[in-house]
Amino acid sequence: MLCRCRARPAGQALASTVRKAGADRVEAQVGALTPEERQRYEHLRKWRNGRATKDGRPPYLLLTNQQVLEVARRDPSNAAELAQIEGIGHARLDTWGDDILATLASLRVSQGDPARSTPEAS
């Protein structure tokens, strides 16, 4: 059986190549995190993957790796700070914002940072 394939136009990347490049870019940025930021990143990814499994959704629908990275860097303590991160709008805030902030707060408590352990009202 013969199969005819259309040639890809010059300069058009395969979707898998684009995704791989994005993943490589995030991984390079993760390597530049401080130890505290890296711990937040891993903690948030663990939460995201567990919640995605529980909700029956792909993890990237909750937060992309880039968004997890930005949350880990900025360490928001309230919804207003969380909303400053690109791609985290009303829908994500309403659905997962409290859980994200609680996850960060619990990590602060375990690290001995009680001053920022309770999410502030926004």
| Domain with 75 in it | 34-116
Domain-embedded: residue 74: yes
Tell me if 49 is assigned to some domain: yes
Q: What is the reported pTM?
A: 0.72
Q: What are 17-26's pLDDT values in tens digits?
A: 545 555 566 6
Residue type, 113: D
Residue 40 included in any domain:
yes
- The number of domains in the chain is 1
pLDDT lower than 50: segments of the chain = 18, 121-122
Q: Residue 122's pLDDT is what?
A: 45
Residue 95 host element (H or E): none
pLDDT of res. 29: 73
Q: 6 lies in a domain?
A: no
- We report the CATH number of the domain holding residue 64 as 1.10.150.80
- d(CA 15, CA 21) in angstroms, rounded, equals 10
CB-CB contact of 72 with 32 (8 Å): no
